[in-house]
Amino acid sequence: MSASLSIAFIGTGVMGRSMAGHLQKAGHALHVHNRTREKAQALLDAGARWHDSAGSAAAGADIVITIVGFPQDVESTYLGKDGIIERARPGALLIDMTTSSPVLARRIAEAAAGRGLAALDAPVSGGDLGARDARLAIMVGGDASAFARAKPIFELMGKTINHLGGPGAGQHCKMANQIALAVGMVAWCEGLAYAKAAGLPVDLVHATISGGAAGSWVMTNLAPKAFAENYAPGFYVKHFLKDMRIALESAAELKIELPGLVLAKQLYDRVEAQGWSECGTQALYRLYAGR
């Protein structure tokens, strides 16, 4: 892969703006599109070119990367009129880094192949901090040769980069990640809510157990935010709920039961019902803390 590429980056939100910034700093020519132009302003100030549509951004790019909100956004961005599949030039590499449906990932790969394009599904984990520090875990599905082309670009954004199999495999891996994360969020919230109810200093309990067998990344990084009533989103509740819905749909297709995920989804439905869908996922603790 050449040192400098033309890269279209669609979706410059909480994570996307940092991810695109790493590519820009590495010397790649960046073409950007986002629903809200202001969220791309720092990239534009640094020399990126603005486009009014995803298709326009993709038209002249060697690589097209998307990280948008919901599966319906992915579908319209790729498969809609004047979308990426229609506008991308033959030979381009398309990389969807949104957490989306494995079924949709396969549809996009098939449509891309029909136009002489390569497509990868490559969802990420690590939130805003992982994106900022270029330490994301990147889970990739698609053709092995396309993965080889993409790997130098992935290495600018993440540290754990694995090719899991054919189209949709990256999304299935991300579902496994989100299932474990959802149940883990319930675990630390319940443990620390119990400590608080018992009259213990919850910050000291956190310091005591987070480094032991009960510890986790989410407990270490999100619990202190919850204690400080800082619910700013590193990862939105609304997007987490979307992921849980996809995981439950996929589990039904695979004919497996996931009772822990069912419970987590019910609890986050209550978080959403409180009007906290724009908060970070640590807002779950508010249910237990009675905020």
Active-site entry in 25, 81, 151, 174: 174
Note if 196 is an active site residue.
no
How many CA atoms lie within 13 Å of 261's alpha carbon, on the beta-carbon side? Answer: 23
How many CA atoms lie within 13 Å of 176's alpha carbon, on the beta-carbon side? Answer: 10
At how many degrees (to 10) do helices 169-197 and 217-227 cross?
50
Cα 253 to Cα 214: distance, rounded to the nearest angstrom = 32
Please give the backbone phi and psi of residue 197, each rounded to the nearest 5 degrees, phi first.
Answer: -65, -30
Q: 36: buried, middle or exposed (CB in 10 Å: 19+, 13-18, 0-12)?
A: exposed
CB 167 within 8 A of CB 78: no
Cα 136 to Cα 144: distance, rounded to the nearest angstrom = 20
Please give the backbone phi and psi of residue 95, each rounded to the nearest 5 degrees, phi first.
Answer: -130, 110
Spatial CA neighbour of 138 closest among 124, 120, 156, 157: 124
Cα 39 to Cα 25: distance, rounded to the nearest angstrom = 18
Widest distance between CA atoms in the chain: 64
CB 268 within 8 A of CB 251: no
Catalytic site positions? 174
